[in-house]
A and B are shown apart, each in its own frame.
Chain A
Amino acid sequence: DIQVTQSPSSLSASVGDRVTITCRTSQSVSRYLNWYQQKPGKAPKLLIYAASSLQSGVPSRFAGSGSGTNFTLIINSLQSDDFARYFCQQSYSIPYIFGQGTNLEIQ
């Protein structure tokens, strides 16, 4: 199985800040890396697919980068609506595995 390590597990930030979340895979997944946002009691929502493509309707302050084994989600100019949990997921090979998540909290 390709393991996925996401960091940090939690992050405190303020409105207007720029934050970075990283995801590392145990083997190359090319660009088969996706990012999701989840709010309490809700289903995950796709933000970024194929490492850097913005899902339709997602604000442009979200950006993804990386390939191979190292990936980054950047949120520019944090808004109050962005405080949530974020997950990465590798979809290169079965079983698809998710990162453990990052809780983004208001500082």
Chain B
Amino acid sequence: QVQLQESGPGLVKPSETLSLSCTVSGGTISSSLYYWAWIRQTPGKGLEWIAHVLYTGTTYSNPSLKSRVTMSVDTSKNQFSLNLTSMTAADTAVYYCARRAPGGVATASSLDFWGQGTLVTVSS
């Protein structure tokens, strides 16, 4: 059973960069089948897909955040990371990492395993 666990600061100051990591256990991150995703949730905007990355580093980002998002993969640690720059109060949210199932109509790129989430608050 694949498990994901987010880690990172719970508090970030405005204009700073958020750095979050997600450690994957029970499976390898170095699979060509799966992408590894970040999603966030706020009471106001609901669930928002941020980006997903393949183990090679190939990344697809939400255009609304693209200029601020960087994702990376560390296969030696079975871990992937998110950097989100220029944080504002609007970025306060619960951030989830998840595994994206293979593309194609059979699995429809669904998000089949999720971490428990980590609350990030942006405040000075």
B26 within 8 A of A: no
**B10-18, B70-78, B84-92, B111-119 - interface stretch:** B111-119
Decide yes or no: A94 and B60 within 8 Å by CB, A43-B115, A45-B114, A101-B46 being known contacts: yes
Interface of A, secondary structure class, is loop
Query: Are B49 and A97 neighbours in the complex by a CB distance under 8 Å?
Result: yes
Query: Are B116 and A42 neighbours in the complex by a CB distance under 8 Å?
Result: yes
Query: Are B64 and A95 neighbours in the complex by a CB distance under 8 Å?
Result: yes
CB-CB under 8 A from B106, the residues of chain A are 50, 53
Contact mask for chain A residues 67-107; partner B; CB cutoff 8 A; 1 contact, 0 none: 00000000000000000000101010011111111000000
CB-CB under 8 A from B115, the residues of chain A are 43
> B95 CB to closest chain A CB, in angstroms?
11
Query: Are B116 and A34 neighbours in the complex by a CB distance under 8 Å?
Result: no
Query: Are A34 and B63 neighbours in the complex by a CB distance under 8 Å?
Result: no
A33 within 8 A of B: yes
Number of interface residues of A (CB under 8 A): 28
Partner of A32, one of B48, B49, B105, B117: B105
Query: Are B111 and A32 neighbours in the complex by a CB distance under 8 Å?
Result: no
B110 within 8 A of A: yes
CB-CB under 8 A from B63, the residues of chain A are 1, 94-95
A-B pairs with CB below 8 Å: how many? 69
Interface of B, secondary structure class, is loop
Query: Are A49 and B96 neighbours in the complex by a CB distance under 8 Å?
Result: no
Give A61 to B49 CA distance when docked, in angstroms.
Answer: 28
Give A41 to B37 CA distance when docked, in angstroms.
Answer: 20
Q: In chain A, residues 8-50, which have Cβ atoms closer than 8 Å to a Cβ of chain B?
A: 30-34, 36, 42-46, 49-50
Decide yes or no: A43 and B117 within 8 Å by CB, A49-B101, A95-B64, A100-B46 being known contacts: yes
Query: Are A51 and B109 neighbours in the complex by a CB distance under 8 Å?
Result: no
CB-CB under 8 A from A51, the residues of chain B are 108
CB-CB under 8 A from A32, the residues of chain B are 105, 108-109
Chain B residues with a Cβ under 8 A of chain A = 46-49, 60, 62-64, 96, 98, 101, 105-112, 114-117
Chain A residues with a Cβ under 8 A of chain B = 1, 30-34, 36, 42-46, 49-51, 53, 55, 87, 89, 91, 94-101
